[in-house]
Chains A and B, each alone.
Chain A
Amino acid sequence: AQSVTQLDSQVPVFEEAPVELRCNYSSSVSVYLFWYVQYPNQGLQLLLKYLSGSTLVKGINGFEAEFNKSQTSFHLRKPSVHISDTAEYFCAVINTGNQFYFGTGTSLTVIP
């Protein structure tokens, strides 16, 4: 079975500072990895995904993530955050079936 662990439930960061949101997964088979963002009272939007190829994946809004197979990690990074990045971020994995497994989420709060 797959599982996703997001190590930080809340991450406060000052505006224009860098941020890293951590995600680790467990799986014995090849997986696809995703980061989604949820703004208050909205559904989830896809930030970026890793399917294959380059381990550094760039997404929308200046976010990027690096797939590290040996550490089974897929951490999300942004070099300079904005107030508008305040949201809940979810890491997810899907295997050869069709079931997504989501982490418990990280609440990013950008402080002016």
Chain B
Amino acid sequence: NAGVTQTPKFQVLKTGQSMTLQCAQDMNHEYMSWYRQDPGMGLRLIHYSVGAGITDQGEVPNGYNVSRSTTEDFPLRLLSAAPSQTSVYFCASSQDRRKQYFGPGTRLTVL
């Protein structure tokens, strides 16, 4: 199993550009989540999904969109990037609530 994979590993955007962060898992997990990690603030939940076709907002959803058309994939979209979205983004998946598997992260810089 590859576990949870994220692409790209690094990305630099200009303000106003759009992009999609990719996340995929091959463990057939129902639950998938997106977090952002900022210095001194820990990890904050952006959006999560409890299964294909079902998504919900987390703690900091503004400026981000998600969809879950398949069990394996959970992309995160930035429609109009802002410098405040400079962060490290982690995707995670789990079969139940007791253990999450994290991807290696995407480091995003918005200029």
In the complex, how many angstroms separate the beta carbon of B20 from the nearest chain A beta carbon? 19
Report whether B42 and A102 are in contact in the complex, using a CB–CB cutoff of 8 Å. Answer: yes
**Among A6, A98, A103, contact of B31 (Cβ-Cβ < 8 Å):** A98
Chain A binder among B11-19, B63-71, B73-81, B97-105? B97-105
Looking at chain B's contact residues, the main secondary structure is strand
B31 contacts across to A, CB distance below 8 A: 98
Closest to B96 in A: A98
Determine the distance from Cα of A105 to Cα of B58 in the docked complex, in whole angstroms: 19
B102 contacts across to A, CB distance below 8 A: 36, 43-45
A99 contacts across to B, CB distance below 8 A: 45, 48, 58-59
Report whether B103 and A9 are in contact in the complex, using a CB–CB cutoff of 8 Å. Answer: no
Report whether B104 and A43 are in contact in the complex, using a CB–CB cutoff of 8 Å. Answer: yes
Report whether A32 and B50 are in contact in the complex, using a CB–CB cutoff of 8 Å. Answer: no
Closest to B100 in A: A100
Determine the distance from Cα of A44 to Cα of B6 in the docked complex, in whole angstroms: 14
B33 close to A (CB within 8 Å):
yes
Question: Which of A's residues lie within 8 Å of B, judged by CB?
Answer: 4, 6, 9, 32, 36, 42-46, 49, 51, 90, 92, 94, 98-105
Nearest 10 A-B pairs (CB), nearest first?
Answer: A43-B102, A102-B43, A104-B42, A102-B42, A44-B102, A43-B104, A105-B42, A94-B97, A103-B42, A43-B105
Question: Which of B's residues lie within 8 Å of A, judged by CB?
Answer: 4, 31, 33, 35, 40-45, 48, 50, 58-59, 90, 92, 97-100, 102-105
